[in-house]
Structure 1
Amino acid sequence: MLKRFFQAASISCILSLTVACATSPTGRSQFTLFNEQQLAQMGSTSFEQLKQEEKVLKHASTRNYVQCITNQLLRANNIQGSWEVEVFDSPTPNAFALPGGKIGVYKGMIDLAETPDQLAAVIGHEIAHVVAKHGNERVSADFATQMGVAVLSGILANRDKPNDQLLAALGIGTQVGILLPFSRQHETEADLIGLDLMARAGFDPRQSINLWQNMAAKASTAPIEFLSTHPGPNNRIRTLENAMPSAMQAYEQAIRSGQRPNCKKP
């Protein structure tokens, strides 16, 4: 679904290419090449196309429930900007985020998340992707990799006896060695940022672990993590458990300050 956006972004951003040294909310150095406003516009365009292609859920109570959680996360964490969350009528337990504050949540994920706190973990995770500018990093990494492969491929292809197997291995190597681990890093960072966002908004961060336990139980098969863009459920749970003490402090402080979400699951 998001592949189309990242391909379009890589092509249309070439003329506005600028290297930026940025830092993520967790203090990680970031490699970003593209203008955030332009990416936001493309994210908005892609989101509108998705709403035309995917079936949008019309159930008012469910939509209000998702919006209630989103509003609480944004308001409690003083996250500014124009945000839009859409609910898609699909049994797939999935959610996604696009630059420009666009978030999609599938009904299957709402069903899987047994409590508002668990759904807050999902939506907080997606907000984190946008806040941390992961879309820009992914487009930048993809663009830089494609340019490097194109240059090296041209050199190899001009030899008297080009090595087709080497060219094929070059594409596989960059995909597994650079792009997929990079995306797994984003997922882990979004888990940690999302955990903090939900805790500060008064959602119980311990429910994030229950969410991933539910996800692991539902998955009958799972890809090998080394070839996956997402960390395995067990690794995600360990990461969340390690960060739980500080999250609980933020949660308890939020409760004391009056952050008590009132979002009721239909």
Structure 2
Amino acid sequence: MKKIIQITLLAIFLIECTTVPITGRKRITPVKDENVLPASFAQYKGFLEKNKLSKDEKATNQVKEIGVRISKAVDHFMRNNGMQKEADSYKWEFNLVEDKTVNAWALPGGKVVFYTGILPICDNEDGVAAVMGHEIAHAFAKHGQERMRQGQIQALGGIAVAIGTSGENKEKQQIWNTVYGVGSTVGMLAYSREHESEADKLGLVFMIMAGYNGEEAAEVWVRMSEKSKGKKSPPVILSTHPSNESRIKALRDYLPEAKRLAAQFNAQKN
């Protein structure tokens, strides 16, 4: 048992790290796309088959058009910065689902869903672009794949005796389910907040690159804060998202840098 634990700890220590483009954050190397994207695309297809797409043609077209516009800006960045293989791996898709929940999300590989419930918070085209940029940023930074790797490492450290005993299919199923879990420790929750903050910054850069007004990103969270007034929310330390107030300040503070980066990336030649 002692030897197994020692081997496990050594394996964790030797975990390879990579860097997130633009933000420069050091991250644990994400799970490889080939082990994730087929399941992601199947999951997205299954979700759309079980949920009702919005019949609001105008709103649907707006979500799709903004998604395409921002994803093209991201694709442009990747192809001009040595990320051609990654750019080819994304299968961007944007859908508006009829649901009152105030939410939007993205799966690995560029599959994005907006719920109709978030549109009043978006309020306008730039607001939709702010939320869209944030979700596209999650896919771009491979937060889902990184979260899977983090889950693997948690399991590696916590269940050392199980190393090498699970079959390949079971392992793939386990790492996929990790994307939808909130984690079992405060450390894992803090990790999620880090992803949210990074997606805010990247999303701000991306929406400006696509020609949208970056000032609206903070305003989305001003409206979100107003909507949540009077409602009890968990303390920041136990939340998977930063507080609305800290988010608003961070977005406003980062706006000048986001504008600078967007101009720099848009000036790159094909």
TM-score by length of 1: 0.76
Task: Tell me how far apart the structure 2 counterparts of residues 94 and 138 of structure 1 sit (CA, whole Å).
Answer: 20
Give the drift of 1:152.
7.9
CA apart distance, 1:82 = 2.0
Aligned pairs, how many? 219
Task: Note if contact 1:98-1:130 (Cα within 8 Å) is conserved in structure 2.
Answer: yes
Which one of 217, 225, 243 corresponds to residue 226 of structure 2? 217
SS in 1 for 2:36: helix
How many angstroms does 1:176 deviate by? 3.0
Contact 1:23 1:30 in 2 (8 A): yes
- Is 1:180 aligned to 2:189, yes or no? yes
Q: Distance in 1 between matches of 2:223 and 2:186?
A: 30
When residues 152 and 241 of structure 1 are mapped into structure 2, their CA distance, relative to the original with a 3 A threshold, is: farther
Hey, what does 1:228 align to over in structure 2?
239
- Asked whether the 8 Å contact 2:207–2:214 carries over to 1, the reply is yes
Give the distance between the partners of 2:40 and 2:191, measured in 1 at CA: 20
CA distance in 2, matches of 1:112, 1:120: 12
| 1:49 correspondence with 2:46 | yes
Runs of 4+ in 1 over 3 A off after TM superposition: 248-251
Q: What pairs up with 1:158-197 in 2 under 5 angstroms? A: 175-197=184-206
Query: Does structure 2 retain, via aligned residues, the 8 Å contact 1:19–1:33?
Result: no
Whether the 8 Å CA contact 1:41–1:100 is kept in 2: the answer is no
The partner residue of 2:32 within 27, 35, 52 is: 35
1:96-135 alignment, distance < 5 Å: 96-135=105-144
- Verify the 8 A CA contact 1:19 1:34 in the aligned structure 2: no
Q: Aligned letter for 1:208? A: A
Deviations 1:90-133 (A, max 9, x none): 01110011011101110011222111111101010010001101
**Partners in 1 of 2:113 and 2:28 — Cα distance?**
26
Q: Which residue of 1 aligns with 2:72?
A: 75
Q: Is the 8 A contact 2:30 2:147 kept in 1?
A: no
Give the drift of 1:33: 4.9
TM-score normalised over the length of structure 2? 0.75
Long gaps (5+) in structure 1: 1-17, 155-173, 258-266
Post-superposition Cα deviations, 1:111-159, rounded to whole Å, max 9, x if no partner, equal 22111111101010010001101111111111211222223899xxxxx
Q: Is contact 1:47–1:102 with CA below 8 Å preserved after alignment? A: yes
* Cross-structure match for 2:98: 89
Q: Aligned partners of 1:141, 1:240: CA distance in 2, in Å?
A: 27
- Partners of 1:40 and 1:241 lie apart in 2 by 34
Q: Residues 70, 33 of structure 1: CA spacing in aligned structure 2 closer, same or farther, 3 A cutoff?
A: closer
Distance 1:250 1:141 in 2: 29
Question: Equivalents in 1 of 2:156, 2:15: separation in Å?
Answer: 15
Change (3 A) 1:136 1:195: same
Q: CA RMSD in A?
A: 2.4
Between the two proteins, what is the percent identity of the paired residues? 32
- Three-state SS of the structure 2 residue aligned to 1:175 is coil
Partner residue of 1:245 out of 247, 253, 256? 256
User: CA offset at residue 223 of structure 1?
Assistant: 1.7
Secondary structure of 1:197's aligned partner:
helix
Q: Describe the shift of the 1:44–1:111 C-alpha distance in structure 2 as closer, same or farther (beyond 3 A).
A: same
